[in-house]
């Protein structure tokens, strides 16, 4: 979904930080993308390369840290692994599982010089 917009969102945060830090260029961008976020890492990498052209982050490497899905099952009163958003609990099959991890789409850090 909308990886191009997300790549633009990443670039905005990177450019803001690079400007504030007086960076001449950005060498690496580290993202955290949860497995429940419905973001495709390959598509995001592709879009990142496109949107960073002629920017301070041109040519920067993109590292995507994969965050596994987890949820709180009301029935089990426990944190359970989740393979998909709105999925069911792998232990009891209940649909009352609140996602607690794996929905993130964050810029963690960048390497600049």
Partner 1 sequence: MCTVCGCGAGEVKIEGGAHAHAHVHADGTVHVHAHDHDHAHDHTHDSTAPAGAHAHTHTHADGSTHSHDHVHQGEHTHDHPHHHDHDHGHAAHGDLDYGSGPARAHVPGMSQSRMVQIEQDILSKNNAYATANRKWFDSRGIFALNLVSSPGSGKTTLLCKTIEALKATLAINVVEGDQQTANDAERIRATGVPALQINTGKGCHLDGHMVGHAMERLKPAEGSLFLIENVGNLVCPAAFDLGEHHKVAILSVTEGEDKPLKYPDMFAAADVMLLNKCDLLPYLQFDADLAEANARRVNPALKVIRVSATTGEGLAEWLDWIKAGVAVQQGKREATVDALQRRIVELEQQLAAR
Tokens of 52: 């960073």
As measured in angstroms, the least distance from the Cβ of 92 to Zn ion is: 3
- Assess 92 for contact with Zn ion (CB under 5 A): yes
Of 10, 25, 27, give the one whose Cα is nearest residue 108: 10
> Residue 85 interacts with partner 1 (CB under 8 A)?
yes
> Can you tell me the distance from the alpha carbon of 73 to that of 71, in angstroms, rounded to the nearest whole number?
6
In the bound complex, what is the minimum distance in angstroms from residue 81's beta carbon to partner 1?
19
DSSP 58: T
Residues β-bridged to residue 33: 66, 105
User: Which stretches of the chain bind partner 1, using CB under 8 A?
Assistant: 1-2, 4-6, 8-19, 21, 23-25, 27-28, 30-31, 38, 42, 45-47, 49-51, 53-56, 58-59, 61-63, 85-86, 95, 104-113
């Amino acid at each position: 979904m909308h990886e191009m917009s997300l790549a633009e969102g990443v670039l905005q945060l990177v450019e803001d930080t690079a400007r504030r830090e007086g960076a001449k260029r950005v060498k690496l961008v580290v993202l955290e993308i949860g497995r429940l976020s419905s973001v495709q890492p390959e598509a995001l990498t592709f879009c990142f390369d496109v949107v960073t052209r002629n920017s301070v982050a041109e040519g920067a490497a993109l590292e995507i840290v994969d965050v596994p899905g987890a949820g709180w099952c009301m029935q089990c009163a426990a944190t359970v692994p989740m393979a998909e958003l709105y999925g069911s609990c792998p232990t009891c099959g209940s649909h009352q599982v609140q996602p607690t991890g794996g929905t993130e789409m964050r810029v963690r850090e960048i390497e600049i010089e």
